[in-house]
Amino acid sequence: MANIIEMPKLSDTMTAGTVVSWLKNEGDVVESGDILAEIETDKATQELETFDDGTILKIYVDVGGKAPCGAPLCAIGEAGEEAPKVETPTEEPALESADDQSKSEEASNPQPETKANSQTDSKPAPKSGTASPNVSTSSGDRIFASPLARKVAEEKGVSLNSVKGSGPSGRIVKSDVLAAASGGISSNLGTSAPAAPLEEKLTPVSTMREVIARRLLESKTQVPHFYLEKELNAEALLKTRVAINDKFKKQGLAIKLTVNDYILKASAEALRAVPAMNTSWEGDNIHQHGAVHLSFGVALEDGLVTPVIRDAEKKDVVTISKEARELIDKARAKKLTPEEMTGSTFTVTNLGMFGINNFYGIINPPNAGILSVGGTFKKPVVDEHDNIVVGHRMSIGISGDHRVVDGAVAAMYLQALAEILENPALMLV
């Protein structure tokens, strides 16, 4: 008797998922442990594993289709067996007209999480190993590539237009991009081609963006925010970073610390100094946490995710840097697990790399606060001898939950953090 594989509930907040790609076709023989598909949840893409042996009799949800948890995705049984007839309550986005879609394909670069792309072509989307398209060629043909292949192509500067896919149904995989990079295929980035004209279009809301919108609305409307800001002297921090990275380089170590690594470490140390900031509102109780589980923002094409470094107060800056890089790589490949994105006690978001001097983030419940970090910038300052000199300044801000902490607590936290960042040696004790 055929077994129905259903849309799994991969996180507590997940209500529906989108099929990013099918790695098996109807008629393929599968064994327990095989990966059938890639499923996009609210903030990650995860693999769908089968625990049944048999033949895929029927695929009920095509690539790009969205289905609620518990909805049938495919049927596995004996070869020649008739697949069960089921109703598939998929949630399909509205389709563009043929003219509108043609114009959109010619002028735009489709997003990795688009849901309607695989449904709007006149031909059915391939089911085997195809991800949502990320490139349109000048002739209107689409290029299908895995999320990891897209990431590697961006890092290596390889144009996917020039890569021949070796995966199922011609899908471009990581090894194809690496081969293209070693073979000297050039990127089309940075060419002098004229920019495409602005195009008015509607983009279906992805599962990730839908969840982000709901959570941010809940935070902003249910949590009473207040905001504080402090400017600090970043000169010692910048010099320390350069000196330590030079030492690592001379020792032949592949370690390169960033300013953000020091900020994460200092944030955890400041929470040790002001534990009242490491708290959560729980209705009848205010929960002061016994460990610092530090989440930090990672900007993706379709939104922000916040992976968590656990027990950050017990880790040195090199360990924090290593874990942060691993989590960032997984976030960009959409391979973060629900456990790696939940359970934080405090959040850090940094937009300094985008040239932003100061801003305020929206609190990530149930955290009592979120630290917002701007970039370092030069400005005239008055030194201890009353001379006007060139200073290296950084702005740090905090958004606090006024139900849990008062302004004085948040101010003490910023004061402690500034002291650590201005005296980086304090991170060593």
Q: Which CATH number characterizes residue 48's domain?
A: 2.40.50.100
* 236: in domain: yes
347 shares its domain with 418 = yes
Handedness of CA 372, 378, 380, 385 (dihedral sign): positive
DSSP annotation string for 310-341 = TTGGGS-HHHHHHHHHHHHHHHHTT---GGGG
Say which of 225, 289, 392, 402 is annotated catalytic.
Answer: 402
- Burial call 336-359: b when 16+ CB within 10 Å, e when fewer: bebebbbebbbbbbbbbeeeeebb
CATH of the domain at 200: 4.10.320.10
- The partner residues of 72 in beta bridges, in order of sequence, read 6
* 217: in domain: no
* 59: in domain: yes
Number of structural domains, the chain?
3
* 88: in domain: no
202 shares its domain with 246 = no
Walk across the sheet containing 66-68 and list its strands. 45-49, 35-40, 16-22, 66-68
d(CA 259, CA 278): 22
What is the pLDDT at residue 182? Answer: 67
* 90: in domain: no
166 shares its domain with 233 = no
User: Left (φ > 0), alpha (ψ -120 to 50) or beta: where does 255 sit?
Assistant: beta
Query: Is 287 a residue of the active site?
Result: no
126 shares its domain with 191 = yes
| Of residues 124, 120, 123, 146, the one with CA closest to residue 133 | 146
- The partner residues of 391 in beta bridges, in order of sequence, read 379
| Of residues 46, 49, 41, the one with CA closest to residue 18 | 41
* 61: in domain: yes
CATH of the domain at 328: 3.30.559.10
- Global confidence as pTM: 0.62
411 shares its domain with 314 = yes
d(CA 347, CA 363): 8
Residue 208: count of CB within 10 angstroms of its CB: 23
- Residue that finishes a domain, picked among 146, 177, 207: 207
230 shares its domain with 158 = no
What is the pLDDT at residue 88? Answer: 62
160 shares its domain with 190 = yes
- Residue that finishes a domain, picked among 144, 176, 207: 207
369 shares its domain with 261 = yes
240 shares its domain with 186 = no
What is the pLDDT at residue 264? Answer: 97
Instruction: Return the beta strands (E) in 181-288 as ranges.
Output: 225-233, 279-281, 286-288
What is the pLDDT at residue 49? Answer: 86
What is the pLDDT at residue 125? Answer: 39
* 143: in domain: yes
**C-beta of residue 209 within 8 angstroms of C-beta of residue 18:** no
* 177: in domain: yes
**C-beta of residue 321 within 8 angstroms of C-beta of residue 139:** no
72 shares its domain with 149 = no
Structure tokens at 367: 């955290």
| Burial of 51 per CB tally in 10 Å (0-12, 13-18, 19+) | exposed
137 shares its domain with 188 = yes
What is the pLDDT at residue 157? Answer: 78
269 shares its domain with 326 = yes
Helical residues (DSSP H) of 274-398, grouped into ranges? 317-332
- Residue that finishes a domain, picked among 162, 179, 207: 207
DSSP annotation string for 40-81 = E-SS-EEEEE----EEEEEE-S-TT-EEETT-EEEEEESTTP
What is the pLDDT at residue 97? Answer: 34
pLDDT digits (tens, 9 = 90+) for 162-213: 787 776 556 787 777 877 876 643 344 444 456 667 888 888 888 888 888 9
Residues of the chain short of pLDDT 50, as ranges, are: 92-140, 184-192
Range of the domain at 147: 98-207
**C-beta of residue 266 within 8 angstroms of C-beta of residue 353:** no
Element (H, E) at 273: helix 259-273
317's CB contacts (< 8 A; 6+ apart) are 257, 261, 262, 264, 265, 427
| Of residues 135, 126, 118, the one with CA closest to residue 169 | 126
